[in-house]
């Protein structure tokens, strides 16, 4: 469950090195190494640089690819891997990228797929970019990596990349190579209207000491913290390997296929997942034991209560006849209903209060039920038809306002006579 040290593979200047902890060794090919690997490669026939394109950030890669094809830098199609981009005002975007021919991308992806272990691939310039982010400068600085007959250069701040370039000349003309690097920095300063006052230098096992430079330029140089590395039984103090360890598997620096990244993360999280499942298993086992004991206790308590109930029942005299309280309950219920029922006088007063002078009451019946009182009245109205009808309808409305429910109403017309019958009810 303990994490193994990360194994780095550095492909640089036609040579392949394996870096594990503080030991650097030469290998012939990536296939010789077992286990997961992070490969840092200078990737032949690739270009890493910055460019400003007239396009929104979303479509910047498409425009970059078209510009590369139009410039003739690549034969055939090219694949662009963006490490950083930022949209400016006026729909322009600054892009820092690595581009390589599509056939080379397929070749590198094939060798990654053929490897039995997880392989994460990083272009060389992403190491310089990681070093720049570690410095996190407010003002523009240059990060330079001198190896063999090359000087790889990147200029930027913690928020922006201004320039990336590789300086090289034939042979070992070290002074001329540094002059070319300083000229490149000066050109970037003029193009971006910036001033670069600090040069951070990364060193490798074949790095050559700085030549004699003017005091002004020497004051601009700063060296990354170096670490001792064992190579061919000799100890080298270099800083490039320290910058390599700053690379993160996540983010835009890694250009491996997505499935390779997922595989790497899955294997990385496996120990944590195993520990989590182990803890869950312990919790489940503890929970099962706890509730199993509780269940047994409840079963025992239930059995004791059941025995007590049986004992109490056995003491009851089963010969005693049960007392019939139905008649008593009916009497109590009838008294309760009668007490809550509407008095006869109350109903008479309600009807009298809404009965007009032109309406004569002939009969009235009251029926006291279990939960209501129902009244039935009949009478005559001494008015013309239209007026009699309105009087009758008004009488019905007033009954409803008094919370009486109309069960039946009948308005009959006979010769010059208008009779009515109304059945209404009110809940107790």
Do 118 and 251 belong to one domain?
yes
Do 93 and 8 belong to one domain?
yes
- Is the pLDDT score of 320 beyond 70? no
Q: What is the pLDDT of residue 324?
A: 61
Q: pLDDT (tens digit, 9 = 90+) per residue, 274-312?
A: 778 888 888 888 888 888 888 888 888 888 888 888 888
With tokens 């309808």, the residue in question is 393
Do 257 and 113 belong to one domain?
yes
- Among 236, 225, 29, 246, smallest CA distance to 147 is for 236
Q: Quote the CA–CA distance of 357 and 80 in Å, as a whole number.
A: 103
3-state secondary structure of 56: coil
Domain boundary among 261, 277, 293: 277
Q: Quote the CA–CA distance of 216 and 344 in Å, as a whole number.
A: 120
Q: Quote the CA–CA distance of 201 and 219 in Å, as a whole number.
A: 13
Let me know if residue 291 belongs to a domain: no
Given a contact cutoff of 8 angstroms between Cβ atoms, the answer to whether 181 and 164 are in contact is no
Let me know if residue 207 belongs to a domain: no
Where helices occur in 115-173 by DSSP H, the ranges are: 125-135
Q: Quote the CA–CA distance of 411 and 422 in Å, as a whole number.
A: 9
Q: What is the pLDDT of residue 171?
A: 66
Segment among 212-226, 275-289, 316-330 with least mean pLDDT: 316-330
Let me know if residue 176 belongs to a domain: no
Domain carrying residue 262 = 1-123+247-277
Let me know if residue 97 belongs to a domain: yes
Averaged pLDDT for residues 270-277? 74
Q: pLDDT (tens digit, 9 = 90+) per residue, 357-407?
A: 778 888 888 877 767 788 888 888 878 888 888 888 888 888 888 888 888
Domain boundary among 256, 277, 298: 277
Given a contact cutoff of 8 angstroms between Cβ atoms, the answer to whether 425 and 373 are in contact is yes
Can you give the CATH number for the domain in which 99 is found? 3.30.420
Most confident of 132-146, 311-325, 371-385: 132-146
Q: What is the pLDDT of residue 357?
A: 78
- Strand intervals (E) in 340-384: 359-368, 372-381
Can you give the CATH number for the domain in which 366 is found? 3.30.70.60
- Among 250, 158, 154, 166, smallest CA distance to 201 is for 154
Q: Quote the CA–CA distance of 141 and 245 in Å, as a whole number.
A: 21
Do 344 and 273 belong to one domain?
no
Segment among 3-7, 268-272, 352-356, 386-390 with least mean pLDDT: 268-272
Do 272 and 386 belong to one domain?
no
Q: pLDDT (tens digit, 9 = 90+) per residue, 102-111?
A: 899 898 888 8
Q: What is the pLDDT of residue 269?
A: 62
User: Between 221 and 31, where is the model more confident?
Assistant: 221
State the Cα angle at 41 between 37 and 47, rounded to 5°.
Answer: 145
- Predicted TM-score (pTM) of the model is 0.61
Let me know if residue 324 belongs to a domain: no
Averaged pLDDT for residues 25-43? 89
- Strand intervals (E) in 354-428: 359-368, 372-381, 405-414, 417-427
Most confident of 57-71, 254-268, 345-359: 57-71
Let me know if residue 302 belongs to a domain: no
- Is the pLDDT score of 1 beyond 70? no
Let me know if residue 103 belongs to a domain: yes
- Among 345, 426, 360, 348, smallest CA distance to 391 is for 360
Q: pLDDT (tens digit, 9 = 90+) per residue, 227-241?
A: 999 999 999 999 999
Q: Residues for the chain: how many in total?
A: 428
Q: What is the pLDDT of residue 318?
A: 53
Do 3 and 114 belong to one domain?
yes
Do 8 and 98 belong to one domain?
yes
Q: Quote the CA–CA distance of 135 and 259 in Å, as a whole number.
A: 31
The residues near 190 (Cβ < 8 Å, ≥ 6 apart) are none
Q: How confident is the model at residue 321 (pLDDT cuts 50, 70, 90)?
A: very low
Torsion angle defined by CA atoms of residues 28, 30, 31 and 35, in that order, rounded to the nearest 10 degrees: 130
Let me know if residue 28 belongs to a domain: yes
Report the number of distinct structural domains present in the chain: 2
Q: How confident is the model at residue 2 (pLDDT cuts 50, 70, 90)?
A: very low
Pairing of strands 150-156, 161-168: antiparallel
- Is the pLDDT score of 411 beyond 70? yes
Which residues is 419 bridged to in the sheet?
Answer: 380, 412
Do 263 and 400 belong to one domain?
no
Given a contact cutoff of 8 angstroms between Cβ atoms, the answer to whether 121 and 256 are in contact is yes
Do 4 and 100 belong to one domain?
yes
Do 260 and 368 belong to one domain?
no
Do 269 and 378 belong to one domain?
no
Q: What is the pLDDT of residue 398?
A: 85
Do 115 and 260 belong to one domain?
yes
Q: How confident is the model at residue 83 (pLDDT cuts 50, 70, 90)?
A: very high
Q: What is the pLDDT of residue 23?
A: 94
């Amino acid at each position: 469950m303990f994490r193994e040290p990360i194994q780095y593979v550095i492909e640089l200047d036609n040579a392949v090195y394996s870096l594990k902890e503080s030991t650097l060794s030469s290998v012939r090919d990536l296939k010789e190494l077992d286990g997961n690997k992070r490969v840092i490669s200078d990737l032949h026939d690739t270009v890493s640089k910055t460019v400003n394109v007239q396009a929104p950030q979303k479509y910047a890669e498409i425009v970059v690819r078209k510009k590369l094809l139009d410039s003739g830098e690549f034969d055939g199609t090219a694949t662009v891997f963006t490490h950083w981009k930022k949209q400016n005002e006026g729909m322009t975007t600054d892009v820092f990228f690595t581009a390589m021919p599509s056939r080379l991308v397929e070749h590198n992806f094939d060798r990654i797929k053929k490897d039995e272990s997880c392989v994460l691939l990083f272009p060389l310039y992403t190491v310089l970019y990681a070093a720049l982010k570690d410095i996190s400068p407010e003002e523009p600085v240059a990060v330079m990596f001198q190896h063999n007959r090359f000087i790889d250069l990147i200029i930027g701040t913690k928020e922006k990349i201004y320039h990336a370039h590789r300086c090289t000349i034939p042979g070992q003309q070290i002074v001329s190579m540094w002059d070319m690097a300083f000229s490149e920095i000066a050109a970037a300063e003029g193009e971006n209207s910036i001033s670069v006052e600090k040069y951070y230098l990364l060193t490798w096992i074949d790095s050559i000491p700085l030549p004699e430079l003017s005091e002004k330029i020497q004051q601009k140089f700063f060296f990354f913290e170096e670490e001792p590395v064992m190579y061919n039984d000799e100890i080298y103090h270099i800083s490039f390997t320290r910058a390599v360890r700053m690379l993160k598997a996540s983010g835009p620096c890694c250009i491996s296929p997505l499935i390779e990244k997922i595989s790497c993360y899955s294997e990385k999280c496996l120990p944590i997942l195993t520990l989590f499942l182990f803890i869950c298993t312990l919790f489940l086992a503890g929970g099962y034991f706890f509730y199993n004991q509780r269940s047994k206790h409840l079963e025992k308590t239930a059995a004791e209560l059941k025995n007590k109930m049986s004992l109490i029942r056995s003491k009851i005299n089963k010969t005693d006849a049960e007392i019939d309280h139905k008649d008593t309950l009916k009497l109590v219920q009838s008294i309760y209903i009668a007490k809550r029922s509407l008095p006869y006088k109350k109903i008479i007063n309600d009807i009298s209060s809404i009965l007009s002078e032109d309406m004569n009451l002939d009969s009235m019946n009251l029926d006291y039920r279990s939960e209501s009182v129902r009244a039935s009245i009949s009478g005559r109205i001494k008015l013309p038809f239209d007026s009699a009808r309105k009087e009758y309808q008004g009488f019905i409305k007033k009954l409803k306002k008094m919370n009486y429910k109309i069960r039946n109403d009948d308005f009959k017309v006979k010769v010059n006579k208008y009779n009515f019958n109304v059945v209404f009810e009110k809940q107790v």
